[in-house]
Structure 1
Amino acid sequence: MTESKFGNHYYILKTTSKHERTVADNIREAIENNMTDVVVTAVVVPEDIKGYVFVESPEEHARIEELVESIAHARIVLKNETSLEEIKHFLVPKPAVSGIDEGTIVELIAGPFKGEKAVVKRVDHTKEEITVELYESIVPIPITIRGDNVRVIDRNQD
């Protein structure tokens, strides 16, 4: 049994794919509306893992299973608990520019150039900004934008 210094256990719930956020919202709603007496101290929906939600609770495994039965799109509680150490890396947000390098082709998803394709010319990891040049621009004008305002299209550009 994996228990924190606060007496909490860490469980992994299997969910219907692409309904992880829904399961987390349904757990919150069930607790807020007193639809369950199961105590949950935290719910984490990691972006990197599809179909799973982490739950922190002082409750025993059987009680979390009771909760899962009442939550739409929640399937099962994995048999073995996990530890905070094993899930800690999911709690640290990734930089907005991670995975973006010079030469990467991106699509702008916000701002006045939304929908335009561009080539990354420079990446500033400290400010989490990138400088791009629009693909179809006659005169190449460098535009500096936040890394979370783009969607990577192709990483293989040289």
Structure 2
Amino acid sequence: MPFYPVRTTTGREIDVALIIERRAKSSRLDVRSVVVPPRLKGFVLVEAPAPYVVLEVIRGIRDVRGGPGRRMEVDEVVKLIRPTPVIELIDVGDIVELVAGPFKGMKARVEFKDPSKNEVVLNILEAAYPLQITVPVDYVKPVKR
């Protein structure tokens, strides 16, 4: 079943999704699901058989700014929901900040990354001498390239 994006006021996505859910249940409309994608601000995705069902359920909601938009298939929605692994965001030579472990808060340069082990080798920038450490990729946050 297709999804239809509904534009909302930024920051009010969850409120709109809850109102849509309540209306769909009370009016017995064929709305299968309502999704609030974390990386897509100002939009709610409504799964329904046709756009007229979405129009009926969003009619009169104050924080709705537009919709339904173009038809979206499930694979497009999965791309919006699935988080991007940190290992894909980091490249060799990038500056990162350690967010866990004994070197927490220090900045380091990525010397090597091993996607199979989900680890990175870092050179601590704030050390007095060259200090390389190997940490899990979950311990780092990208700062700049």
TM-score, normalized by length of structure 1?
0.66
Give 1:54's aligned residue.
45
Q: How does 1:134-145 map to 2 (within 5 A)?
A: 134-145=124-135
The one-letter amino acid paired with 2:9 is: T
Unaligned runs of 5+ in 2: none
Q: CA deviation at 1:129?
A: 2.1
Q: Give the distance between the partners of 2:18 and 2:61, measured in 1 at CA.
A: 10
Aligned partners of 1:120 and 1:132 also within 8 Å: yes
Q: Note closer, same or farther for the CA distance 1:112–1:15 as it changes in structure 2 (3 Å cut).
A: farther
Deviations 1:95-114 (A, max 9, x none): 32113111110112333433
Identity of aligned residues (%): 33
Pairwise CA distance, 1:85: 4.5
SS at match of 2:6: strand
Compute the RMSD of aligned alpha carbons.
3.1
Distance in 2, matches of 1:113 and 1:99, equals: 21
Return the match for 1:102 from 76, 92, 95.
Answer: 92
> What number of residue pairs does the alignment pair up?
141
1:88 Cα offset (Å): 4.5
AA at the equivalent of 2:48: S
* 1:43 Cα deviation from its structure 2 partner: 1.4
CA distance in structure 2 between the partners assigned to 1:126 and 1:70 by the alignment: 51
TM-score w.r.t. length of structure 2: 0.71
Structure 1, unaligned runs of 5 or more: 1-7
Matching residue of 2:5: 12
- Aligned equivalents of 1:114, 1:69: Cα separation in 2: 50
1:40 CA drift (Å): 3.2
1:73 Cα offset (Å): 4.6
2:114 matched to 1:121? no
Match 2:32 to one of 21, 34, 40: 40
Q: Helix, strand or coil for the counterpart of 2:87? A: coil
Distance of 2:43 and 2:142 partners within structure 1: 25
